[in-house]
């Protein structure tokens, strides 16, 4: 699936970039804002985003999730998908070019590299948010009913082990389809990549992208 870079740029939440840089709810000084503009331009020129997803039937019990013939042991994921009869498994990446840009920048300008890291993190989040909406629309057309999305849930969150990545990569054929590989230590390469479960439910949801509204950690620096 391809999404135009201009669309990704418009979807990026700059306040999220500032929070990644440690400014909390405050806006950075003008020199940092200029550096963010410069880093975003470099990043958006370089990236070649790619993604793939599949939608599966889904059922859960108290601490297990069954998706497309696969079983995942995780109470947290089971709670996330408890209302869902189907779920998408998503893999998305900004591409190897983003990693190369970061590596070059780390050699010559660490300040810009830090800003670039924050921009890349916000960029992959924005890209995933856009894909989520495409997933919802596609699933809704297929089922012919109104559907809502649960928040993304990735391997390594809560009690879902990173080892779940192996099943995700096999199911989506990530390496062949979008050039995303998994190291022996279960890290993804390119690094600016995401895999996630996304539940689909008929029950109305208040929030699936700006997850802060449903989070109880009120003192978090990333809270909207």
DSSP-derived secondary structure for 40-67: HHHHHHH---EEEEEEEEEEE-SSEEEE
Residue 224 pLDDT exceeds 50: no
pLDDT in tens, 14-31: 999 999 999 998 999 999
Instruction: State the chain's mean pLDDT as an integer.
Output: 90
pLDDT in tens, 160-218: 999 999 999 999 999 999 999 999 999 999 999 999 999 999 988 765 554 544 454 44
Domains observed in the chain: 5-214 (3.40.109.40)
* pLDDT number for residue 187: 95
Query: What is the residue whose two structure tokens read 């331009």?
Result: 41
Report yes or no: 16 and 211 within 8 Å, Cβ to Cβ: no
């Amino acid at each position: 699936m391809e999404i135009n870079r201009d669309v990704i740029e418009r979807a990026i939440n700059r306040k999220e970039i500032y929070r990644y840089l440690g400014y909390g709810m405050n806006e950075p000084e003008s020199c940092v804002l200029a550096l963010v503009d410069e880093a975003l331009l470099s990043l958006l020129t370089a990236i070649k985003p790619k993604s793939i997803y599949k939608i599966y039937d889904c059922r859960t019990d108290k601490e297990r999730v069954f998706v497309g013939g696969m079983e995942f042991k995780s109470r947290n994921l089971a709670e996330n998908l408890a209302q869902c009869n189907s779920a998408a498994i998503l893999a998305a990446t900004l591409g190897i070019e983003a990693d190369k840009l970061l590596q070059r920048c780390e050699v010559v300008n660490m300040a810009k590299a830090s800003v670039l890291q924050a921009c890349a993190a916000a960029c992959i989040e924005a890209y995933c948010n856009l894909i989520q909406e495409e997933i919802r629309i596609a699933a809704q057309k297929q089922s012919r009913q109104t559907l809502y999305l649960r928040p993304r849930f990735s391997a390594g969150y809560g009690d879902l082990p990173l080892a779940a990545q192996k099943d995700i990569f096999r199911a989506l054929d990530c390496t062949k389809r979008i050039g995303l590989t998994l190291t022996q230590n279960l890290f993804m390469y390119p690094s600016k990549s995401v895999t996630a479960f996304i539940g689909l439910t008929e029950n109305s949801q208040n929030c699936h992208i700006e997850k802060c509204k449903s989070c109880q950690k009120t003192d978090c620096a990333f809270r909207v």
